[in-house]
């Protein structure tokens, strides 16, 4: 509003507006020169370094993104590989477990069979030993019975043998020996 009033006053006073504002062509050239210098200075001192820095940043970001992608790919590959390895390990573990169970069952069967065989042998051996022991005992008892019987017979015959019996016994013996 004030500017409009001032401009109107200047027009009313007459003369060129540039004259009235104190603007000369030298000042315009000077200002243009200043503007060019400032622009060139800003271009070299600020715009180029900033542009370079932004470019570097962009390259860095791209590089990081690339590395990130590579890493993601590596992780994916490793994950796939680990899953495959895990799957194979599970299969292998199952096979080993199955084999171990089979071997253990086979071994258990062998042990049981061997134990049965051993028990059978032991029972047979024990029965034989018992039979032998029983036979020995029987013989021993028979011997003891014979000993006792002979001892009793000796006592009885000693007591009851008369001189006549003794004489008859001696004569019978002599007769038997003479026939030999």
Partner 1 sequence: MRKAAVKAKVILSMEADKETKEKIEAFVRARGCGGAEYEIDPSIGGGVVISIGDRVYDGSVKGRLESVKRSV
Q: Interface with partner 1 includes 141 (CB under 8 A)?
A: no
> Are 54 and 60 a contacting pair, CB within 8 Å?
no
Gap between the Cα atoms of 174 and 166, Å rounded: 12
Q: Interface with partner 1 includes 166 (CB under 8 A)?
A: yes
For 88-149, the DSSP string reads HHHHHHHHHHHHHHHHHHHHHHHHHHHHHHHHHHHHHHHHHHHHHHHHHHHHHHHHHHHHHH
Please tell me the count of residues contacting partner 1 according to CB under 8 A. 24
Q: How far is the CB of 138 from partner 1 (least distance, A)?
A: 12
Q: Interface with partner 1 includes 143 (CB under 8 A)?
A: yes
Q: Interface with partner 1 includes 179 (CB under 8 A)?
A: no
Q: Interface with partner 1 includes 173 (CB under 8 A)?
A: yes
Residue numbers at the binding site for partner 1 (CB under 8 A): 142-143, 146-147, 149-150, 153-154, 157-158, 161, 163, 165-167, 169-174, 176-178
């Amino acid at each position: 509003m004030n500017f409009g009033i001032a401009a109107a006053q200047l027009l009313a006073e007459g003369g060129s507006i540039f004259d009235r504002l104190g603007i000369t062509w030298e000042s315009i050239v000077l200002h243009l020169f200043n503007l060019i210098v400032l622009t060139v200075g800003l271009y070299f001192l600020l715009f180029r370094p900033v542009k370079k820095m932004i470019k570097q940043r962009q390259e860095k970001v791209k590089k990081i993104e690339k590395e990130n992608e590579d890493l993601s790919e590596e992780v994916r590959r490793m994950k796939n590989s680990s899953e495959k390895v895990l799957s194979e390990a599970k299969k292998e573990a199952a096979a080993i477990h199955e084999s171990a169970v089979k071997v253990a069952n086979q071994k258990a069967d062998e042990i049981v069979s061997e134990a049965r065989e051993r028990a059978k042998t032991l029972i047979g051996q024990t029965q034989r030993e018992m039979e032998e022991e029983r036979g020995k005992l029987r013989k021993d008892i028979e011997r003891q019975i014979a000993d006792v019987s002979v001892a009793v017979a000796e006592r009885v015959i000693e007591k009851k043998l008369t001189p006549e019996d003794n004489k008859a016994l001696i004569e019978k013996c002599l007769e038997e020996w003479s026939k030999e």
